Amino acid sequence: MKELIEKIKGSINLSQEAEEHLFSISNKKTFAKGAVLIRQGQNVNKIYFVTGGCLRSYCIDKNGKEYTLQFAIKNWWISDYIAIHTNESASLTVECLKESTVIEFNAKELDGIHALFPEFEPFQRKNLERHMVSLHKRILNQLQLTASECYDLFLEQYPDIEQYTHNYHIASYLGVTQESLSRIRLEKAKK
């Protein structure tokens, strides 16, 4: 929780009262590798701030194959925002790729914090903007860059992630086949 408080304090002036409220609606939890926090098809009301480990959100298509939407490492947020926004069942599954520690919030309670403590607004707005920028960059990169260049950027963003992910987690995130990713890795290893 200290990590999140420090992060918030880096953006806004946080009153003692607001800090205490944040504590009261949060729940620090540790999950084992393989634990599923959100399951496709089920109800979602939780949002997670990652303080350690690595999580992945993915969807499963009608043929049963997985496609990675996001990896979340320390200081990232993860949930199924589509489900929370539309109040529908989850279209994503969120799982731990290694033992992970998260701060869990109820989505409604986290949203309600703005009414109680308006100073959170700019913090949340900045978070959303950063999230949007990251998504736009990801789309543009996929449109403009080669698979090899996308892979380089991916490694910059998640330097150690290959230790605990499968090839197909990354391949589906980049939108390439496992064979293509293996080839890219092989070419890089030769250089």
Partner 1 sequence: MKALQIIKYGEIKDSLVFNEVNKPTMQAKDVLIEVKAAAINPIDKSIILGNLQSMLPIPLPSTSAYDVSGIVVEMGAEVSDFEIGDLVYSRVPQEQMGTIAEYVAVNNAAVSKKPGNITFEEAASIPLAGLTALQSLEYVGIKENDKILIHAGSGGVGSFAIQYAKAKGAYVYTTTSTNNVKWVKELGADRVIDYKTEDYKTMVSNADIVFDTLGKNYALEAFEVIKQGGKVVSVVGPLDEESAKMFGMADYKLPKELAQLSKDKEATYKFIFMHPNGSHLGAIKLLIEDEKIKPIIDKVYPFAESMEAFAHLATGRAKGKIVIKIN
Is 64 one of the binding residues for partner 1 (CB under 8 A)? yes
Place of tokens 């949002």: 47
- Cβ–Cβ under 8 Å, residues 56 and 97: yes
The residue among 51 and 79 lying less far from partner 1, judged by its C-beta, is: 79
Helix (H, G, I), strand (E, B) or coil at 31: strand
Strands 36-38 and 46-52: unpaired
Q: How far is it, in rounded angstroms, from Cα 169 to Cα 163?
A: 12
Is 79 one of the binding residues for partner 1 (CB under 8 A)? no
Is 39 one of the binding residues for partner 1 (CB under 8 A)? yes
Min. distance of Cβ 23 from partner 1 in angstroms?
31
Is 124 one of the binding residues for partner 1 (CB under 8 A)? no
Helix (H, G, I), strand (E, B) or coil at 101: strand
Is 5 one of the binding residues for partner 1 (CB under 8 A)? no
| From 3-11, 69-77, 115-123, 166-174, span contacting partner 1 (CB under 8 A) | 166-174
Angle at CA of residue 71, ends 156 and 27, nearest 5°: 125
Is 57 one of the binding residues for partner 1 (CB under 8 A)? no
Min. distance of Cβ 188 from partner 1 in angstroms?
17
Of 13, 63, 87, 163, the residue at the interface with partner 1 (CB under 8 A) is: 63
- Cβ–Cβ under 8 Å, residues 105 and 25: yes
Q: How far is it, in rounded angstroms, from Cα 165 to Cα 155?
A: 12
Is 40 one of the binding residues for partner 1 (CB under 8 A)? yes
What are the structure tokens assigned to 159, written together?
């330097």
Of 60, 107, 147, 155, the residue at the interface with partner 1 (CB under 8 A) is: 60
Number of residues that this document lists for the chain:
191
Min. distance of Cβ 170 from partner 1 in angstroms?
11
Q: Point out which residues bind partner 1 (CB under 8 A).
A: 36, 39-42, 58, 60, 63-66, 166-168, 172, 178, 182
